[in-house]
Structure 1
Amino acid sequence: MRIGVNVHLLSTTHTGIQHYIRALVPELVAQATSHEVVLYGEPSQLSIPAGRQVQWVPASRPLRSGTHRVLWEQTVLPRLLNRDRIDVFFSPAFILPMRWHGVGVVTVHDLNFEVSPETIHPVRRAYLRRITRRSVHRARKVIAISRSTASDITRLYGVPAEKVAVIPYGLDAIFTPENAHTLEPMVRLRYSLPERFLLFVGTLEPRKNLPRLLDAYALARQRAELPPLVLVGAPGWQHERISAQAVRLGIRECLVLAGYIPREALPGVYAAASALLYPSLYEGFGLPPLEAMGCGTPVLASSTSAMPEVVGDAGILADPYSAQAIAEGILRITQDEPLRRQLVEHALERAKQFRWESAAQSTLRVLEDAYSS
């Protein structure tokens, strides 16, 4: 079987989806020893396991923007798949080429643009709605990264449940207490982190629920002395509203906008934090809570979408639509030391359940099933 995989999304910004490709595809290549693998992308963007041969097909010219990539996927890629006699094409991020009529498998990471449309830029929302709906119906199989996302796909798009396979993300090997504590001193110094702090990690955009997190933090500060709140992440749509809101709430001096921090340094950031606060409105999975759990950092996350599947009983779950509920969670996770110890113990055990090796094994089975069905 000849498997084609589109990895061109690696040429764009660093998000959870790009990380999914970087973590999953090398494992998939390592396990697909009885198949040929063709990767559509730049060889410099992905590390392939030693001893495994793959065929690389780069674009004839650099795909410098999302628009260029979309045009390439819908016009050039279908011709390449036919030329290369691909048996199964795997798209790890939402989109199948509409002009290719072979066997396709697509991963859907979330349907935020359907569930919380107001949190997505209108142009991006319109494109994702149209192309994702068409892709999941054209695909032979659909991979969802959580039961929550699988439910959304069947409910909103009418895709039969038996067509959707749930394959969760894995946890990178760098997110361990040992590595986290080794990195912590360097990370504290390099990024000028406070001695104690509460942490948020993620793109600074509306769906991450930062306005309500700031409201909750301000409420909790009225009842207890709290460490500063550090926001780690690249600026996203409407990010400029964060500082203005903090000023209105009188907490600007307690807010640290640390900006983007490279992934390899994040274990040290988690280790330095007193807790991770992640009351996102909607997540297809929720990597930051899992990463924090792997490092032994207490987690407060939303009680909605996929986050209960990830966190389980290893964190505090709060209603993301209630600033009061989030504030209560902040007080519990900062003031109740026996609870904190219990959460860390449970988190370290739960984090071991999420492995990229297992995700790759399951993905390969889906590709094989799609080809044979």
Structure 2
Amino acid sequence: MLQQINYIFRKRLPQYNSIEELFGAIQAKLKDKVEIDTQELKLSGGSPVVILKNILSFRKKSPSQINHITGDVNYMALVTGKKSVLTIHDIGSILKGNTLKRIYLKLFWFTLPAIFVNKITVISEFTKAELCKVIPFASKKIEVVYNPVHSELSYCPKEKNSVCPNILLIGTKPNKNIERTFEALSGITCKLTIIGKLTENQLKLLELYKLEYKSMFQVPYVDIIQAYKNCDLVLFASTYEGFGMPIIEAQAIGRPVITSNIGAMKEVAKDTAYLVNPYNVEEIREAVLSITSNVEMQNKLISKGRINVERFRIDKIVEDYLTIYKDVINA
């Protein structure tokens, strides 16, 4: 008899797909090894009323099932029982706001869930170090399982374009550092493809710096894959990431990457991307000019990136999760 794994997902919203794409791919690989069940919560948000209603909606089908809380709804650990795994994707994007809000979020997203679950998985050593500071009492429960690169992403070589390269930017939230990126690209002949909803201020900056661009928002993953294939370079100089999926997605397609020399991005990319200080506009600019004008450098980064991606192949990640499920069963 196969072990039953119940995956608990947040309510799906059109603008947020990363967790669903990630664990959907993992479920597809696991379907012959475990019995899979899925529960999508009915409400989104983090108010006390939403938390209470979502908790009350939980139904355990079998006392032996393992419940895997896939992210963003950590508070569900209060009712899923000891045979539970909680995946935490990052810390910084949650613990922000005024003091009262931070206390509330820390309690329901970290402290209480950490007491109830058997295992906590995080997506980078960087996130693990951050989380251990927040819940030091639960440090022995925390294990790193990297995000897998999507199996639909495969190497797709493209003719080099040094005249007017297409530069892909992923995300428009404050941590994506897109305002400094725009400034760094000012005066450089290029076309931008931007995935994410642009703010009024970002639109004004695009006009101010006279940058040619195309923006995409709430698009299916197949369109994002095509954006990777169409680009010449991925520029991902974030100030904070729990992991940094665009790094390995771009490398899987075969595109050079510029990313930040801090946190999880440095951990994920290692020496296979052009690393920059995300707070230094001139450094970002110099990286773009260096790569777009040097075909040899592009080829070197592409080759190293393809090797780096092997660390994140889905078969390895699936085995890591199976090991964790076995540990929970035997606990």
Shorter-chain TM range is 0.7 to 0.9
TM-score where L is the length of structure 2? 0.85
Q: Cα gap change, 1:37/1:227 in structure 2, threshold over 3 Å: closer, same or farther?
A: closer
Instruction: Look up the match of 1:40.
Output: 39
Pair 1:228-2:205 in alignment: no
Q: How does 1:160-239 map to 2 (within 5 A)?
A: 160-178=138-156, 196-202=165-171, 204-218=172-186, 221=187, 225-234=188-197, 239=199
Task: Give the aligned residue type for 1:166.
Answer: V
Alignment check: 8 A CA contact 2:252 2:309 kept:
yes
2:54 to 73, 77, 83: 73
Instruction: Look up the match of 1:328.
Output: 286
Task: Give the aligned residue type for 1:131.
Answer: F
Q: Cα gap change, 1:124/1:286 in structure 2, threshold over 3 Å: closer, same or farther?
A: farther
**CA displacement 1:116-148 (0-9 Å, x = unmatched):** x37xx9999776433221223322111011111
Between the aligned partners of 1:252 and 1:278, the Cα distance in structure 2 is: 20
User: 2:5 aligns to what SS in structure 1?
Assistant: strand
Cα RMSD after superposing both structures: 2.9
Q: Cα gap change, 1:258/1:93 in structure 2, threshold over 3 Å: closer, same or farther?
A: closer
Between the aligned partners of 1:353 and 1:205, the Cα distance in structure 2 is: 28
Task: Give the aligned residue type for 1:208.
Answer: K
Task: Give the aligned residue type for 1:362.
Answer: D
Alignment check: 8 A CA contact 1:145 1:166 kept:
yes
Instruction: Look up the match of 1:52.
Output: none
1:88 to 50, 66, 89: 66
CA shift for structure 1 position 295: 0.8
**CA displacement 1:237-265 (0-9 Å, x = unmatched):** xx232012333xx3244343333432113
Alignment check: 8 A CA contact 1:233 1:258 kept:
yes
Q: How does 1:233-252 map to 2 (within 5 A)?
A: 233-234=196-197, 239-247=199-207, 250-252=208-210
Alignment check: 8 A CA contact 1:208 1:279 kept:
yes
**CA displacement 1:138-178 (0-9 Å, x = unmatched):** 22111011111111111222144432111111112221124
CA shift for structure 1 position 291: 0.8
Alignment check: 8 A CA contact 2:15 2:217 kept:
no
Pair 1:287-2:265 in alignment: no
Instruction: Look up the match of 1:256.
Output: 214
Alignment check: 8 A CA contact 1:113 1:128 kept:
no
Alignment check: 8 A CA contact 1:243 1:252 kept:
no
**CA displacement 1:35-86 (0-9 Å, x = unmatched):** x443224xxxxxxxxxxxxxxxxx7xxx364468744432221xx12x5324
Number of residue-to-residue matches in the alignment: 321
Alignment check: 8 A CA contact 1:7 1:21 kept:
no
Instruction: Look up the match of 2:20.
Output: 18
Q: Cα gap change, 1:164/1:231 in structure 2, threshold over 3 Å: closer, same or farther?
A: same
**CA displacement 1:315-365 (0-9 Å, x = unmatched):** 101111222221222222222221111101111222122122221221121
User: 1:23 aligns to what SS in structure 2?
Assistant: helix
CA shift for structure 1 position 199: 1.1
User: 1:200 aligns to what SS in structure 2?
Assistant: strand
Instruction: Look up the match of 2:330.
Output: 372
1:139 to 114, 117, 124: 117
User: 1:112 aligns to what SS in structure 2?
Assistant: coil
Task: Give the aligned residue type for 1:207.
Answer: N
Pair 1:109-2:69 in alignment: no
Pair 1:130-2:90 in alignment: no
CA shift for structure 1 position 266: 2.5
**CA displacement 1:267-316 (0-9 Å, x = unmatched):** 33222212100011111111111111111111001111211222122210
Q: Cα gap change, 1:98/1:145 in structure 2, threshold over 3 Å: closer, same or farther?
A: same
Instruction: Look up the match of 1:360.
Output: 318
Q: How does 1:270-285 map to 2 (within 5 A)?
A: 270-285=228-243
Task: Give the aligned residue type for 1:199.
Answer: L
User: 1:143 aligns to what SS in structure 2?
Assistant: strand
Identity of aligned residues (%): 21
1:308 to 266, 278, 287: 266
User: 1:110 aligns to what SS in structure 2?
Assistant: coil
CA shift for structure 1 position 367: 1.7
Alignment check: 8 A CA contact 2:89 2:243 kept:
yes
Show structure 2 runs of 5+ residues with no match: none
CA shift for structure 1 position 196: 3.4
Alignment check: 8 A CA contact 1:246 1:252 kept:
yes
Alignment check: 8 A CA contact 1:196 1:272 kept:
no
